Amino acid sequence: MIGQVRVVGTGLLGASVGLGLRALGVEVIVHDSSPANLSLAIDYGAGRAARDTDNPRLVVVAVPPDVTARVIADELAAFPDALVTDVSSVKVAVLAGVRAAGADVDRYVGSHPLAGRERGGPISARGDLFLGRPWVITPQDGMPAAQVGVIEDLVLDLGAVPVIMTAEQHDTSVALVSHVPQVIASLLARRLIGGTESALSLSGQGLRDTTRIASSDAELWVQILGANAAAVTAVLREYRADLDRAIDTLGAPELPGARRTLAELLAGGTTGVSRIPGKHGQDRRFHQIIVMVDDRPGELARLLTEIGHIGVNMEDLRLEHSPGQQIGLAEISVVPEAEAGLVADLEARGWRIAQVGA
Amino acid sequence: MIGQVRVVGTGLLGASVGLGLRALGVEVIVHDSSPANLSLAIDYGAGRAARDTDNPRLVVVAVPPDVTARVIADELAAFPDALVTDVSSVKVAVLAGVRAAGADVDRYVGSHPLAGRERGGPISARGDLFLGRPWVITPQDGMPAAQVGVIEDLVLDLGAVPVIMTAEQHDTSVALVSHVPQVIASLLARRLIGGTESALSLSGQGLRDTTRIASSDAELWVQILGANAAAVTAVLREYRADLDRAIDTLGAPELPGARRTLAELLAGGTTGVSRIPGKHGQDRRFHQIIVMVDDRPGELARLLTEIGHIGVNMEDLRLEHSPGQQIGLAEISVVPEAEAGLVADLEARGWRIAQVGA
C-alpha cells in the first residue's frame, strides 16, 4: 500500500488509475484543470477533491503530452516530499522538459501504461483498464531502487506488468509498435476520401481492421507524434524505402525479378506479423472450435451451458454473425488439450462443428 | 434453379460455391488439377467428379489468378453450350487474357465475390461463405441481359448481393479497398522484423489489427497485385505523396504550420474511416452493452440464459478476456431500442454493466 495518491488529469487514464486504486482502498485525490471533468471523475468514484492539508506520497500526472512536462514540474514544486510519475506516450521529451523547467527532477520517474480504449474521457474509465497490460517505467540513470519500486508497486497494484526501459528505448519501441502504425493507418484511411460509393461498398473486414485506429483523436496524436518525431521519422523513412521498391516493381511487373521482389516484400510482412506476441502471433496458445448456432434466442446460452457441463473452460468466445442470417458461428478458444474431447462431446450432443483448427 | 454447374478449382472459393449450391439441391460437378484437393472437396460434399456425359449450363472457374484466363478459355472450348464465369480478384487482365486466347469470349461473364477467410483450401470452405457479401459481376459491353441474369441468379442463390460494374470500375475499386491495404499492411508488418523483443512486447490491439492481413498468402498476392498493377500503383503514388508530407513535417515539427499539416493528414484518416459502410462505419446500427462476467465456468452461460429470459435478441457478442484475469467483459450488441431496458433488467438481476454506449 502506497499512502495518499494524487492524480492530476481525469481523462481516461487518470480516472482509471483513480478507480483502480480506490478499489484497493487507497486514498485518491483527483485534480483537473476542467472543473466539469473533475466533478464527473469524482461522481464516478475516481477519488476526492484536493484539500490544503493534502500530503501525497505519489503524484500521477495524466494530462495531454503537450503540457505533461510543465505539470510535472509544478507538482514537484507543490509537493516537495512526493514522487511524481506520468503516463504519457513519450518519455524523452517529457524528461527533457522537466529538466529544462529547473524542477527537482530526481523525484520524477517516467512511466507509460500501454492501455487505452477507442473512447476517451472519464466516462470510459475502468478500474481494470490496465489488467494484464504492459506498463513501461523509465527510471533515470542511477535512480535509487526504492524510488523505482514505488512506481512498480503502483503498476502491480493496478494489475499491469512493469517493464523497465530507458526513456530512449521506450520512445523507439513505441515509435515502431504504436506511433508509426497510427500514421500508416491514417494515411491509408485518407485515401478513402476520394473513393466512389460503389468502391467503398466493397469494403471488407481487412480494410476495417487496417484502418480502425485511424479514427483516433487527431489532436492528441499530433502532440504524441510531434514529441517523438525523430524516432517516428526514422521508421517511416525505412517504410518509405520499401514502398518505393513496391511502387517501382509494380510499375513494371513483368520485368525479370519483379515478382520475386514483390514476393519478398510481402513474405517479410508475414514474418513481421509472426513476431507480435499474443493471440495472433507466435504465442498462439489456444485452439479455436467453430460451432454453428441457430439464430434463435437461447441457442447460444444452451451451447455455453453444455460446454459448462462438459467441464471445459473457454478462454475466449467470438460470435460471427451477420444480421439476417439464420445461422451464427460461435468461435470458442480452448487450450489445445481440451480441443479433441470438446469437439467429440459437442458432436455427440448434436452440435455442428463448422471447422476445427489452430 | 440453374441446371448442372461445373466448378473448376476446389480451393476455399470453389469448394464453398459447391457446398452452397449442393445445399440448394443443384447438381455440382467439381474438378481440380490436384487429385488430392479434388477428392477432399468431394469428401466434404462440394460436388461429384466429372463424367464424359456432363453438359453443364454454367462453369465457375475458381483457380489462382495467373491461370484463370487460360482455364476460362479451355472451359469455353470444352463446353460450347455453357456460360463461364470466374471468381478471381482482378477482372481487366482476365478478360484481356481470355480474348488473347482466341476463345469464344461472348459466353464469358467475369465476377468476383468479396468473401474470404484467413485460412484457405477446401477444408475451410463453407456453404454460407458468401452470405450477405457483395459479389461483383462485370458484364462486357452489350452483353444480353439473360446471360448476366444467370450469374445474378448464382450470386443470389448463394446468399450474396450482386453488384454490376465494368471490369475497369471493379479493378480500381478493389485496388483502393483491398489491394492497396494489403501492400500497406505487409510493408508495415515488415518493419517489425527489425524490432527488439522488448519493443514487440509492447504491441497492442492497434498493431494487431493494422497488420492482421499481412499474414495472407504472399504467392497469391503477388499474382493479384501483378494483374492489377496499374490501378494499385496509382493509389500507392497518392499514398506516397501523403507519406512524404508526413515525413517532411515530422522532420521539423516545430516549424510554423507543421502541426496544422499533421493534424490535417490525421483528420483525413478519420474522415476516410467514416466512409466505410458497416459496423465500424456510418451504418452503425447496434449499441453495445458491456457486462462484467466472473471468470468461472457457467457464468457466461448464465448471463446469456438471462438475456434470453429478458427476451432481447443479441446481434453480436464479443468476450474481452485476458487469460488469467478474474473478470471477463462480454460486449453485447443489440438494436438501439433494446439497450435501456436490457441494462435496467440486467442490473436488477445483479449484473455489473461496465459501460454503455453506441
Which residue type is seen at B1?
A: M
Contacts 24+ apart (CB under 8 A), B275-283: B275/A192, B275/A193, B275/A195, B275/A200, B276/A192, B276/A200, B276/A203, B276/A207, B276/A208, B276/A211, B277/A200, B277/A201, B277/A203, B278/A203, B278/A208, B279/A208, B280/A208, B280/A212, B280/A215, B281/A203, B281/A208
pLDDT digits (tens, 9 = 90+) for A228-237: 999 999 999 9
**A contacts of B238 (beta carbons < 8 Å):** 191, 194
Percent of chain B residues topping a pLDDT of 90: 69
Given strand A48-49, what is the order of strands in its sheet? A48-49, A28-31, A5-8, A58-61, A83-86
Which CATH superfamily is A287-357 part of?
A: ACT domain (3.30.70.260)
Grid cell 483498464 in the structure block, residue: A129
pLDDT of residue A335: 82
pLDDT digits (tens, 9 = 90+) for B102-157: 999 999 999 999 987 656 777 778 888 888 889 999 999 999 999 999 999 999 99
3-class secondary structure per residue, A265-281: HHHHHHHHHHCCCCCCC
Quick one: DSSP state of residue A290? E
Q: Which residue in the set A253, A276, A357 is minimally distant from B208, CB to CB?
A: A276
Q: Tell me, what's the ipTM?
A: 0.80
Q: Could you give the CA distance from residue A343 to residue B58 in angstroms, rounded to a whole number?
A: 37
Maximal CA-CA distance, chain B: 77
Q: Could you give the CA distance from residue A202 to residue A180 in angstroms, rounded to a whole number?
A: 27
Beta strands B352-357 and A352-357: pairing type?
unpaired
pLDDT digits (tens, 9 = 90+) for B300-352: 888 888 888 888 877 777 776 544 445 667 888 888 888 889 999 998 998 88
pLDDT digits (tens, 9 = 90+) for A108-158: 999 999 987 656 777 778 888 888 889 999 999 999 999 999 999 999 999
Q: Is the pLDDT of residue A169 over 80?
A: yes
A238: Cβ–Cβ under 8 A, 6 or more apart, which residues?
Answer: B191, B194
When the candidates are 3.40.50.300, 3.40.50.720, 3.40.50.1980, 3.40.50.970, the CATH number that belongs to A5-165 is 3.40.50.720
Q: Is the pLDDT of residue B246 over 90?
A: yes
Cβ contact B253–A229 (<8 Å): yes
Q: Is the pLDDT of residue A352 over 70?
A: yes
Contact A300, A330 (CB under 8 A): yes
Cβ contact B276–A208 (<8 Å): yes
Quick one: DSSP state of residue B48? B
User: pTM here?
Assistant: 0.81
CATH architecture of B171-272: Orthogonal Bundle (1.10)
Q: Is the pLDDT of residue B256 over 70?
A: yes
Residue B356: phi, psi to the nearest 5? -130, 135
pLDDT of residue B268: 96
- Determine the distance in angstroms separating the CA of B26 from the nearest CA of chain A, rounded to an integer: 20
Closest by CA to A4, choosing from A23, A24, A28, A20, is: A28
Q: Which residue in the set A200, A242, A301 is minimally distant from B276, CB to CB?
A: A200
**A contacts of B219 (beta carbons < 8 Å):** 263
Cβ contact B123–A232 (<8 Å): no
pLDDT digits (tens, 9 = 90+) for A272-284: 999 998 643 333 4
pLDDT digits (tens, 9 = 90+) for B53-106: 999 999 999 999 999 999 999 999 999 999 999 999 999 999 999 999 999 999
CA distances in angstroms from B150 to A155, A163, A230, B164, listed in the order given: 63, 61, 58, 13
The torsion region of residue B333 among left (phi > 0), alpha (psi -120 to 50) and beta comes to: beta
Q: What is the dihedral of CA A67, A71, A73, A77, to 10 degrees?
A: 160
Burial class (CB in 10 A: 0-12, 13-18, 19+), A330: buried
Confidence tier at B242 by pLDDT (50, 70, 90): very high
- Which ranges of A193-283 does DSSP label H, i.e. alpha helix? 197-200, 205-211, 218-227, 229-251, 258-274
Q: Is the pLDDT of residue B282 over 50?
A: no
Confidence tier at A357 by pLDDT (50, 70, 90): very low
Q: Do domains B5-165 and B287-357 have the same CATH topology?
A: no
For residue A170, what is the nearest residue in chain B, using CA coordinates?
B199
Closest by CA to B173, choosing from A207, A244, A212, A263, is: A207
Domain ranges of chain B: 5-165, 171-272, 287-357
Cβ contact A201–B163 (<8 Å): yes
